[in-house]
Amino acid sequence: MVNHTMTNTKVFTVENAIQAERRIQELVREGYNKDNLYVLAHDNDRTERVAEQTNASKIGVAEEGILTTIGNLFRSHGDTLRAKMRSMGVSKQYADILESELDKGKIVILAWNGVSYEGDRYDSEVTYFPPYL
């Protein structure tokens, strides 16, 4: 049986780890594979803690691609966060918005469709919750 709920990437912004955990549980019930659920916080320690608490993943080399990972060595922290999201199909415009939400202490959850993006390419089918534009 083909699971059609995995056809597009969904991006959620939540206030805290408890909301992140609830959202991830909902996404698993919808049929998303835990291996395709990612959390991102403004600092690496918080990302690590939230990922561990929610059993979600952190965005790594496999998701970013080697070129983005190498480029992140030379980027500012904000640029690195945006590059991680861009590699998973988030447009530049939304990556900027989401990074500013991370600056405010929020957590971003990506239910990813598994397609990697490089350069200025992005996934026009990504759904954002809440919708920012």
Q: Give the integer Cα–Cα distance in Å for 61 and 46.
A: 19
- Residue 63 confidence (pLDDT): 56
Q: Could you tell me the CA-to-CA distances from 34 to 21, 51, 110, 114 in Å, in that order? A: 12, 11, 11, 12
d(CA 13, CA 103): 12
Question: Tell me, what's the pLDDT at 9?
Answer: 95
Average pLDDT value for residue range 68-96: 77
Which stretches within 3-56 are classed as H helix?
17-30, 44-54
Question: Is the overall model pTM greater than 0.85, yes or no?
Answer: no
In angstroms, how far is CA 76 from the centroid of its own chain? Answer: 18
Would you state the pLDDT for residue 57?
64
What are 31-51's pLDDT values in tens digits? Answer: 998 888 888 888 878 878 888
